[in-house]
Amino acid sequence: MTTYDHIQELRGELAASVDPAERATIEAELMAARAKLAEEEAALDAAIEPPR
């Protein structure tokens, strides 16, 4: 599963969750996944674009 797909899955779980503790856990996971996606995108950009 890609990080993007994982984020989408977590967003769906968050929308369906009613338990505050579960929501907090999902939100933390979602924040971590978003940070990971940002790192992956930055690495890809660095690999594609020549240094200036």
Q: 2-34 pLDDT, tens per residue? A: 999 999 999 999 999 999 999 999 999 999 999
Number of domains within the chain: 1
Q: What is the pLDDT of residue 33?
A: 98
CA 18 to chain centre: 21
Q: What is the pLDDT of residue 24?
A: 98
**φ/ψ bin of 48: left (φ > 0), alpha (ψ from -120 to 50), beta (otherwise):** alpha
H helix count then E strand count, the chain? 2, 0
CA 16 to chain centre: 18
Q: What is the pLDDT of residue 46?
A: 87
Domain carrying residue 7: 3-48
> Which token pair is 41?
């995108």
